[in-house]
């Protein structure tokens, strides 16, 4: 799996524990607020906040909860988000990224969709130990 960018989350803005749906709402609202404050267009705010919403829900529904961190990467002008859980991990990541794949009875568009809606996206998963998603939007 790819190593995180050395300057990823260089300056942390906020951390949120992801346990309930309310936490996921807060996480994507914080992301939207930070992008808007930096003059990012409504379309790009919506795209990335939607991606964050998908991943935050995965942490809660599949990962048994976890942690969300949002921060800045001042050197490269990205808003960075990390979502980390200590759930069972994803056995076959390529399959999970494909549209139509679902284990929880959903549409199976969340993971692949989140990747398409992010400017940078990487996922690190260890079966039995958890999953970390690092995603960024250019600001």
Partner 1 sequence: MSGVASIHLVENALLVSIQDDVTDTEIIDLQDALSNRIADENVDGVIVDISALEIVDTFVGRVIAQLAGISRLLAAETYVVGMRPAVAVTLVELGMYLPQTRTALSLSHALAQLRRG
Q: Does 65 bind partner 1 (CB under 8 A)?
A: no
User: Are 37 and 79 a contacting pair, CB within 8 Å?
Assistant: no
Instruction: Report the residue from 9, 18, 30, 32 that binds partner 1 according to the rule CB under 8 A.
Output: 32
Look up tokens 């803005």; give the residue.
Answer: 13
The only residue of 99, 103, 126, 129 in contact with partner 1, by rule CB under 8 A = 99
With contacts defined by CB under 8 A, name the span among 6-14, 16-24, 83-91, 128-136 that binds partner 1.
Answer: 16-24
CB-CB neighbours of 65 under 10 Å = 15
56: left (phi over 0), alpha (psi -120 to 50) or beta: alpha
User: How many Å separate Cα 89 from the centre of its chain?
Assistant: 15
User: What part of residues 37-56 is at the interface with partner 1 (CB under 8 A)?
Assistant: 42-43, 45-47, 49-50, 53-54
107 binds partner 1 (CB under 8 A): yes
Helix (H) or strand (E) holding 48: helix 42-61
The binding site for partner 1 (CB under 8 A) comprises 20-22, 24-25, 28-29, 32, 42-43, 45-47, 49-50, 53-54, 57, 99, 106-107, 109-110, 113, 116-117
């Amino acid at each position: 799996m790819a190593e995180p960018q050395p300057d990823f989350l260089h300056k942390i803005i906020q951390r949120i524990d992801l346990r309930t749906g309310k936490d996921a709402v807060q996480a994507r609202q914080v992301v939207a607020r930070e992008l808007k404050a930096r003059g990012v267009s409504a379309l790009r705010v919506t795209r990335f906040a939607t991606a964050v919403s998908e991943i935050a829900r995965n942490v809660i529904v599949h990962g048994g909860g976890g942690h969300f961190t949002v921060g800045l990467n001042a050197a490269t002008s990205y808003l960075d988000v990390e979502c980390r859980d200590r759930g069972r991990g994803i056995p076959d990541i390529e399959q999970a990224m494909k549209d139509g794949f679902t284990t929880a009875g959903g549409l199976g568009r969340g993971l692949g969709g989140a990747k398409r809606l992010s400017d940078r996206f990487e996922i690190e998963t260890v079966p039995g130990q958890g999953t970390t998603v690092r995603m960024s939007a250019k600001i």
